[in-house]
C-alpha cells in the first residue's frame, strides 16, 4: 500500500524494496523516494508533494510510488529496481516524475531528459547542481533549459553556527563533522563546507570520516576529549557495523553518539533531534516537499518550465531536545527560548 495517498490515485503505490512490480499503465505522477517508505527525511516530502497537488486542484491524478531504501539495500538490488522504473517511465509516459533526495535523482534524471513530454521535479537535493548539470545539462544557472526543475535543500549552516554562538554565549572555536562514507554522508559533508565557505566559520570545521561503527566510536571519543571542539554535527547516515554485517542508519547510531559525546550535537533536521540529539536550526522537510509540489501545480496550469527556476528550500524551524539540553547542562536565555519553534521530549 502507498505510504500516503492524498491524491486519489488510480494506481496503488509500489514499494520496490518488497520486490513487487506491477505492469506499466497510464499514470500521471511517479514519486520515487530514495529511502524507505517511513524514512523521516523522505516521508514528509512525499506527503507534502501529494498535498500540494491536491490543494492545487489536481486531486484526480493517478500516481505510483517507489521506495528504493538505498540506505540499507545493496547497489545491485537498487540498480535492478531503477531499470524497472525506467521501463515504467517509457511505457506509462507520466506527466511528472518526482524524485525525493539525491540517490533517486542521480539515477533517473538522465533517463527523464530523454523523455521531453515528462517533467521531473526534484526535492531535497544536497549535491551541487553543477555536478549534475555538467554530467547531463538541464540548467542555465538556475533556469531550466530542459524538462527538469525542483527544490534544492539548503541546510542553514550559517544560521546553525549563529545559534551555536548564542547557546555558548561566546565565539565558536571548533566544530567536528562526524560523517559516514556512504554517498549521502559525503554529499552532506561537502554541503556543510560549501555553505560555510567565505564565512567567519569556514576554518572552524574539523572532519572525521567514519567508514564503520568502530571507527565512528573511536572518533566520538576524540571529539569528546578534545577541549577545543565545542560541538559536533552527526552526519553518520549509513554506517557499516561489522559485528552483524549490517548498515546502521541514524536512528540506531544516535544513542551510541549521545552516550559517547557529552557535547552539543547539531542536528541537520528536527527528525534527528527526536532521536536524542540537541538540535538547532532544521530544514522543514514538509515545506520543502510542498514547494516542489507547488512547482508542479504551476506547470500543470500551463506555466512554462523556464519560468519555474530551481529554488532553495525556504523554511527552517528551530527544534531543541529538552532532555538532551538538560543532560548537557545547557541553560538557554529567555530570549533564546522564545525563538524555539519545537521542543522535543
With beta carbons less than 8 A apart as the criterion, state whether 95 and 120 touch.
no
Could you give the domains of the chain?
16-154+284-316 (3.40.50.2300), 157-267 (3.40.50.2300)
Flag whether pLDDT at 131 surpasses 50.
yes
State the helix-helix crossing angle for 213-225 and 250-260, rounded to 10 degrees.
30
Q: Which of 103, 152, 147 is nearest to 126 (CA)?
A: 152
Identify the DSSP state of 233.
E
Instruction: Give percent above pLDDT 90 in the chain.
Output: 88
Q: Across residues 133-160, what is the average pLDDT?
A: 96
Q: Which of 260, 255, 257, 256 is nearest to 275 (CA)?
A: 255
* pTM for the structure as a whole: 0.84
Flag whether pLDDT at 22 surpasses 80.
no
Flag whether pLDDT at 3 surpasses 60.
no
Task: Quote the mean pLDDT of the chain.
Answer: 91
Instruction: Give percent above pLDDT 70 in the chain.
Output: 93
pLDDT tens for 202-237 read: 999 999 999 999 999 999 999 999 999 999 999 999
How would you class 309 by CB atoms within 10 Å of its CB: exposed for 0-12, middle for 13-18, buried for 19 or more?
Answer: middle
Q: Which three cell numbers stand for residue 74?
A: 545493496
For residue 271, the model assigns a pLDDT of 87
With beta carbons less than 8 A apart as the criterion, state whether 240 and 211 touch.
yes
For residue 26, the model assigns a pLDDT of 73
With beta carbons less than 8 A apart as the criterion, state whether 223 and 178 touch.
yes
Look up cell 548537557; give the residue.
328
Flag whether pLDDT at 5 surpasses 90.
no
Flag whether pLDDT at 19 surpasses 80.
no
For residue 256, the model assigns a pLDDT of 98
- pLDDT-derived band of residue 25, with 50, 70 and 90 as boundaries? low
Amino acid at each position: 500500500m502507498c505510504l500516503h495517498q492524498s491524491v486519489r490515485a488510480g494506481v496503488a503505490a509500489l514499494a520496490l524494496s518488497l520486490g513487487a512490480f506491477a505492469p506499466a499503465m497510464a499514470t500521471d505522477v511517479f514519486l520515487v523516494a530514495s529511502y524507505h517508505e517511513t524514512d523521516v527525511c523522505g516521508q514528509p516530502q512525499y506527503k507534502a508533494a501529494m498535498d500540494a497537488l491536491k490543494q492545487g486542484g489536481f486531486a484526480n491524478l493517478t500516481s505510483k510510488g517507489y521506495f528504493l531504501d538505498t540506505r540499507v539495500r545493496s547497489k545491485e538490488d537498487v540498480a535492478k529496481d531503477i531499470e524497472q522504473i525506467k521501463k515504467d517511465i517509457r511505457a506509462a509516459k507520466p506527466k511528472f516524475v518526482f524524485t525525493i533526495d539525491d540517490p533517486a535523482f542521480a539515477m533517473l534524471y538522465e533517463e527523464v531528459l530523454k523523455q521531453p513530454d515528462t517533467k521531473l521535479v526534484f526535492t531535497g537535493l544536497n549535491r551541487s547542481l553543477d555536478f549534475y548539470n555538467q554530467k547531463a545539462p538541464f540548467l542555465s544557472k538556475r533556469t531550466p533549459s530542459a524538462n527538469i526543475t525542483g527544490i534544492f535543500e539548503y541546510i542553514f549552516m550559517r544560521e546553525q553556527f549563529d545559534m551555536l554562538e548564542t547557546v555558548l554565549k561566546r565565539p565558536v572555536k571548533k566544530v567536528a563533522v562526524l560523517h559516514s562514507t556512504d554517498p549521502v554522508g559525503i554529499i552532506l559533508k561537502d554541503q556543510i563546507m560549501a555553505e560555510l565557505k567565505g564565512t567567519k566559520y569556514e576554518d572552524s570545521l574539523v572532519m572525521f570520516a567514519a567508514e564503520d561503527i568502530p571507527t565512528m566510536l573511536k572518533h566520538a571519543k576524540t571529539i569528546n576529549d578534545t577541549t577545543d571542539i565545542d560541538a559536533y554535527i552527526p552526519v553518520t547516515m549509513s554506517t557499516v557495523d561489522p559485528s552483524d554485517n549490517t548498515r546502521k542508519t541514524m536512528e540506531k547510531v544516535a544513542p551510541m553518539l549521545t552516550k559517547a559525546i557529552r557535547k552539543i550535537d547539531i542536528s541537520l533536521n528536527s527528525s534527528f533531534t527526536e532521536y536524542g540529539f540537541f538540535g538547532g536550526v532544521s530544514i522543514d522537510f514538509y515545506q520543502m516537499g510542498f514547494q516542489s509540489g507547488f512547482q508542479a501545480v504551476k506547470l500543470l496550469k500551463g506555466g512554462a518550465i523556464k519560468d519555474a527556476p530551481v529554488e532553495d528550500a525556504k523554511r527552517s524551524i528551530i527544534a531543541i531536545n529538552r532532555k538532551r539540553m538538560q543532560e548537557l547542562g545547557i541553560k538557554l536565555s529567555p530570549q533564546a527560548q522564545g525563538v524555539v519553534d519545537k521542543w522535543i521530549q
